[in-house]
Homo-oligomer: A and B are copies of this chain.
């Protein structure tokens, strides 16, 4: 990643333009915003490789913006380098703990800053997707598309997999057949509601050898629910 798209979030025009200048010198594609709101908008549009963000923003703490980004599936992989006044030494710790890739104190030493930016971009993305969804003995590896129950791999048909994953990620909630069709089947598919029953049954019989079939619960008159408690 030699040339990157970088977003600077800093309310202070002076340091913002100083940073922007240094990065543009190196050929990076730089955008600038002054608060968290416009930063989020810019992130959605530009999908930058790196966000350089000050800890003190007018509308939201920089660390909270960071948490927001790390919490979203879509932008979790984006690198984030936080900055802050050197006097506020707590910021370093809280920024790094919240998942910042690096931190640079102000006033900025441009040589160091650029070296750290480079290092950030060179590194493989850190905060990768959350892989596993778990419930009791059941584990679903969403990246490897694998399901294991009590350590044994269980092979599921595609639709069974999607159904189980959906129910597992939304435990303790009842879904009507119609709702399940909406979420697990294609939105426009015209499939009879009894189809859901059949798939629930198939899932149950697959989970039965491990005594996990009870987690798929029928709610008479309403639909189905996944829950560990009876």
Contacts and interface: CB of A to CB of B under 8 A. Distances in A.
A230 to B, nearest CB: 7
Indicate the member of A119, A143, A158, A172 with the most B CB atoms within 10 Å: A119
Q: Count this chain's copies in the assembly.
A: 2
Interface residues of A, number: 39
Contacts of A102: 102, 119
Contacts of A177: none
A119 B144 contact: no
A112 interface: yes
A105 to B, nearest CB: 9
A227 B229 CA distance: 29
Nearest to A126: B123
A33 to B, nearest CB: 25
A219 interface: yes
Interface stretch (A36-44, A65-73, A91-99, A206-214): A91-99
